[in-house]
Amino acid sequence: MPAWLRRPGVRVLLSYGLAVVSVVAAFLAARTFLYFHLPLAIMAFSFCAIAITFWYGGIGPGILALVLAVLIRTFFFQPEVDWISRVAYDFVFLLFSFFMLQATRAKNELESRVVKRTAALTKANEDLRLENTERKRAEQALQENITALKSALDEIQVLKDQLYKENLALREEIDVNRMFEEIVGSSPALQTVLLRVAKVAPTDSTVLISGETGTGKELIARAIHKRSHRSSRAFVSVNCAAIPKDLIASELFGHEKGAFTGATQRRLGRFESADGGTIFLDEVGELPVEMQIALLRVLQEREFQRVGGNETLRTDVRVVAATNRDLNATIAEGKFREDLFYRLNVFPVEVPPLRERREDIPLLVEYFVDRYATQAGKKITGITKKSMELLQSYKWPGNIRELQNVIERSVIICESENLSVDESWLLRPLPVSDASTQPFFEKLATQEREMIEAALAESNGKVSGPSGAAAKLGIPQSTLDSKIKTLKINKQRFRRA
């Protein structure tokens, strides 16, 4: 339909024009039928004109068609008809027009409903189409969000594991009971060790540190780590002698949930925590044989499995081990694997005992005095000459750890600016002849016995507590009880009435 026909004014004019045209056409047709002597044709054609106008033109044009039909029929076709017939004819026209009016109204209402319903359905279809489009977009966005969420969860898990490793390493570093915080000394024996540390630190070679207890083997291991390219990653320390045999596999390699009673969740082992960094295996000679095999596999293949798991995990970790035992003798006794020894002993570093670096004792004493005086809030400017001579002449079987304990104890009871050391705290050195003839382990046992007996004597035979022998020696109570039992020391004879 042309645009001009859709204008409201034009459509109204056409509707009324339809009324005029239809009535004129009806009476022209009726005039024609009069020649055939059909007088009622005017009625039939008038009804048709009125019906057509009402139906296609609307109510207003239909009423106009009624009026025109009545006028033309009255004045042009049947002027001689009496008034009763006219009224009857007019009533019939009105009645027919009334019905056409109702039919037109019903048609218009139906058309309006159809238009509204069509518009509503069109809008609903459009809304449905938009909703489908939005739903597809939402599903696509949801899928993208799910993918991103999975990626984020994976990243969170990786970061969680990494955080666990770093926290574990941090706790280990905070909780570790280090002998001292810095390497103190300038003796040739110590400088030789530091020179070897400087050479091996930049490499990834496995290092085996040997030396008596209390010489600072862990400090040497930390120095190796700090001077290596792994210094920005974790340094994880494991005391192999302090972990129960049935838990050491889980401690080193981790376990899966349900691997054993009490394993309520997956746990990362120390090797996973130290990935990319350094793991320090202290007292490696105390490892049970089955764990020596597992450690050998890690050193050879760089892979392991968690306890209760089937997944083989790769590890990039540098191993630094330490022992105060004679591993060659342990190998001869069948308690340590020879192949593991050769894997660990790639670069040996032997830490000298304190009696072989006596020139470092004044520096160490000054360091410890300053440290513990600061902690105690005391001002101590020096140490008596007699005490210094006494410290330098002593054999120090407990090495730096024993010296540290003696200095800390002396600072606690010091009441002046000059520190003095109680001579009774120091064990007498062994005769030279005995030291030269006794086997290595017998010498260690003898020195250990003397240290324990001296501590028991000082603590009145008491093992536990702040003033007990365990605290004075700087070792756990359970360890001291075990050593007392092994060495068959009678604690009761040190109790004073």
Predicted confidence (pLDDT) at residue 411 exceeds the cutoff of 80? yes
- Whether residue 234 contacts residue 169, with contact meaning beta carbons closer than 8 Å, is answered with yes
Least confident of 163-167, 295-299, 335-339, 437-441: 437-441
Name the pLDDT band for 496 (thresholds 50, 70, 90). Answer: low
More confident site: 225 or 460 = 225
What distance in Å separates the CA atoms of residue 33 and residue 30, rounded to the nearest whole number? 5
Rg over CA atoms, the chain? 55
pLDDT tens for 177-198 read: 333 346 888 889 899 999 999 9
pLDDT tens for 229-265 read: 999 998 999 998 888 888 888 888 888 887 777 777 8
User: Within 10 A of 67 (CB to CB), how many other CB atoms are there?
Assistant: 15
User: Within 10 A of 288 (CB to CB), how many other CB atoms are there?
Assistant: 14
Class of residue 269 by CB neighbours under 10 A (exposed 0-12, middle 13-18, buried 19+): buried
- The chain-wide mean pLDDT, for the chain, equals 80
What distance in Å separates the CA atoms of residue 415 and residue 384, rounded to the nearest whole number? 13
- Whether residue 69 contacts residue 49, with contact meaning beta carbons closer than 8 Å, is answered with yes
Name the pLDDT band for 174 (thresholds 50, 70, 90). Answer: very low
Q: What is the pLDDT of residue 432?
A: 46
Residue 464 phi/psi, 5-degree rounding, is: -95, 175
Q: What is the DSSP string of 403-462?
A: HHHHHHHHHHH--SSEE---GGGSPPPPPHHHHHHS-HHHHHHHHHHHHHHHHHHHTTT-
Q: How many CA atoms lie within 13 A of 234 on its CB side?
A: 27
pLDDT tens for 328-375 read: 888 988 889 999 999 999 999 999 999 999 999 999 999 999 989 999
Q: What is the pLDDT of residue 17?
A: 79
pLDDT tens for 274-292 read: 889 999 999 999 999 888 9
Predicted confidence (pLDDT) at residue 415 exceeds the cutoff of 50? yes
Least confident of 245-249, 314-318, 475-479, 483-487: 475-479
Predicted confidence (pLDDT) at residue 125 exceeds the cutoff of 60? yes
Axis-axis angle for helices 399-413, 385-393 (nearest 10): 160
What distance in Å separates the CA atoms of residue 64 and residue 22, rounded to the nearest whole number? 11
Q: What is the pLDDT of residue 2?
A: 57
Local structure of residue 75 (DSSP, 8 states) = I
pTM summary value? 0.53
**Mean local confidence (pLDDT), 213-241:** 91
Percent of the chain past pLDDT 70, that is, above it, reads 82
What distance in Å separates the CA atoms of residue 228 and residue 232, rounded to the nearest whole number? 9
Q: Are strands 303-305 and 312-314 parallel, antiparallel or unpaired?
A: antiparallel
What distance in Å separates the CA atoms of residue 116 and residue 121, rounded to the nearest whole number? 8
